[in-house]
Amino acid sequence: MGAPKSDLPYVGLGIPYEGWTVGRRFRTVGRTVTDADITNFVCITGMLEVLFTNLDYLEKESLIKGRLAPGALVYSFAEGLLMQSVMQHTGLAFLGMETSKPGRGIVTALNNVVNQRGEIALAYTATRMVKSFED
């Protein structure tokens, strides 16, 4: 028989500062970038570049074939996947600093976004302030 519900740990509530170690690696769930995602993103951000809005142009005139997603969309999805998993309830701010107050710490991470072919589509370094267990 399992433990009472009140004793079960929550999952997906983030990683407190003390839980981060140098070299820690993990993966988030996957997320397919759909045509609707691209269309909505370019419309809401005003990124109405023909590379993102004109499939006929891509097929006939562009050196790049197939539907393109703006790098900003890929970055936004990557950050969203991180927020849903390791930052939930612990991420306090997205920062570019090197010091911290008591009760929180700074975590710097190199994030690689890997596409369905296993290729790195985007690599970026994020610096965040994360609350600690003591908070």
Question: Which pLDDT belongs to residue 38?
Answer: 96
Instruction: Report pTM.
Output: 0.65
Kindly state whether residue 52 falls inside one of the protein's structural domains.
Answer: yes
Task: Tell me, yes or no, whether 48 lies in a domain.
Answer: yes
Residue 86 belongs to some domain of the structure: yes
Q: What is the pLDDT at residue 32?
A: 93
Q: Which domain holds residue 101?
A: 27-131
Residue 9 belongs to a domain: no
Does any domain span residue 54? Answer: yes
Domain annotation covers residue 91? yes
- Number of folded domains that form the chain: 1
Residue 47 is part of a domain; what is its CATH number?
Answer: 3.10.129.10
Residue 53 parent element (H or E): helix 50-53
Give pLDDT, residue 41: 97
SS3 label, residue 12:
coil
The pLDDT assigned to 97 comes to 47
**In which residue ranges of the chain is pLDDT below 70?**
1-12, 92-101, 134-135
What angle do helix axes 71-85 and 35-45 make, rounded to 10 degrees? 110
